[in-house]
Structure 1
């Protein structure tokens, strides 16, 4: 099991610049609101949250990597259940080390993007997975863990959040070239308009292509179930066995190896956020348009239905049901479409 870094300064980061952390692009998107908050806290400097695990916070700034504490008002808000707590990827106003030797987070700067999901429980609530990201890599492995319906949900939620998605099919070293092509074709057919890459952390296949997405200090968040190879992919990109990995179980399902979210700097520039596995992804704040974009094939067929409000259940002259009967559309696609709409 991986352990939380204690936040001690990394001397190799002594020449770290804010640009390396994505500050230039962030401030261009955020505008004057971030500057106003920094001026409000006169003694503060911008820092980026790289670990937010329980009560443990670690930030990166021009001062390097340091452990951080929440200001009293922020801490009280978090204890009262406020959603305004720092998230990995956040830019914050930090002040110089206190008597504890840790910097203090005074405020959270505005988020320009975020990836969220619905948190299960008695009352639905938003769980922000990562903030200020430029894209998400949605991973699934080409083995028993492969789940097309789950990929559809991830892609739909990325669309809802306004964050570009890239689909990454991992572990190409354990399948034949023929099966690899089959997996890829199946994904490209189901989720149109989203880039698809096949990779292997063992052979290094596809890694160079993925690294191109990190151009100009971009931040990308990894998403996927346990055991699909997120940490192995991170290690390949870092060129180091930084993240702990673990073999999948005998039933093909993954084991949790990443115990907390962490943002890491890549040697060639850019930042990557590794996440614990998420087997379920419940949509948050999803609108019909985002769902329709993921199921464009069904929407196109629906225009040929006899009734404009056809639900594609038992209505006569339903073009969607006819496509299923003729084999042009998989019934599982329609079932997945119904599930997404019925949950919203």
Structure 2
């Protein structure tokens, strides 16, 4: 039977060996030793803090937070404990909590140029409150896998925020939507379009949606959306959403083959430039809406495409509403009046 070589070592010796391994970049060995310390003293501040540092090093910011919190709760006089915790909160996207923690550090009596610098960074003269609210409204903090919602917990499609901001300024009640690929978008668009016809090839998605489909939605299962599309009279729809989990080049060609003259909403258009080229060569013009989506950490694009005469019909300057958080001068701007 092999004995544990660290079993009889005092904690201060284990910590010194762990720190040495950590500095040398031997992270697995360092973490093993830190965790050995925590088995004896789960609240050990240095071991908790340093495990948090290892988690940050490998991009596991959320996993680092409870370790930093424990370290700080044991010793609020260590400047680095505050700095590491605040840094991990920033990297995990929780600016609001990071800001509050930086102010708490000052109130706790920690006198440090680094802490003061962080406080200034998180509390600039131009406040970050609006940007936090903007991300919150977009759904960044409340959405979960399979559940995409805005800040009011209302179901929204996984389309770019800038597209949705524009979309809601227009009136769609007289329009009929053909949706290639069902999901959250089906529920959302049913609130705006006169009717929604949705083709879906995924059995699980279809069954889940069937249980809650609105009255103005006609949900159709098809093992091949492309085949179903070729059988459809597209003149019955003013708008088509292309967001199916199928070959989009084939879907696009099927639309062009039928000489469709309506409007196309095309998600992730930055990934499907050959499909977009097929449409533009057929006389469509593209208006791209680059933006962000809940659950995604990159900028993507949802485009609208249509023939010039039809594009004009959906770019109505008489907006039915403004996006949330937009501000309109109720008195009107004197610079907007000819003199």
Report TM bin, short chain: under 0.3
TM-score normalized by the length of structure 2: 0.26
Structure with the higher fraction of residues in strand conformation:
1
Bigger CA radius of gyration = 2
Q: Which has the higher contact order (CA 8 A, sep 6+)?
A: 1
TM-score scaled by length of structure 1: 0.25
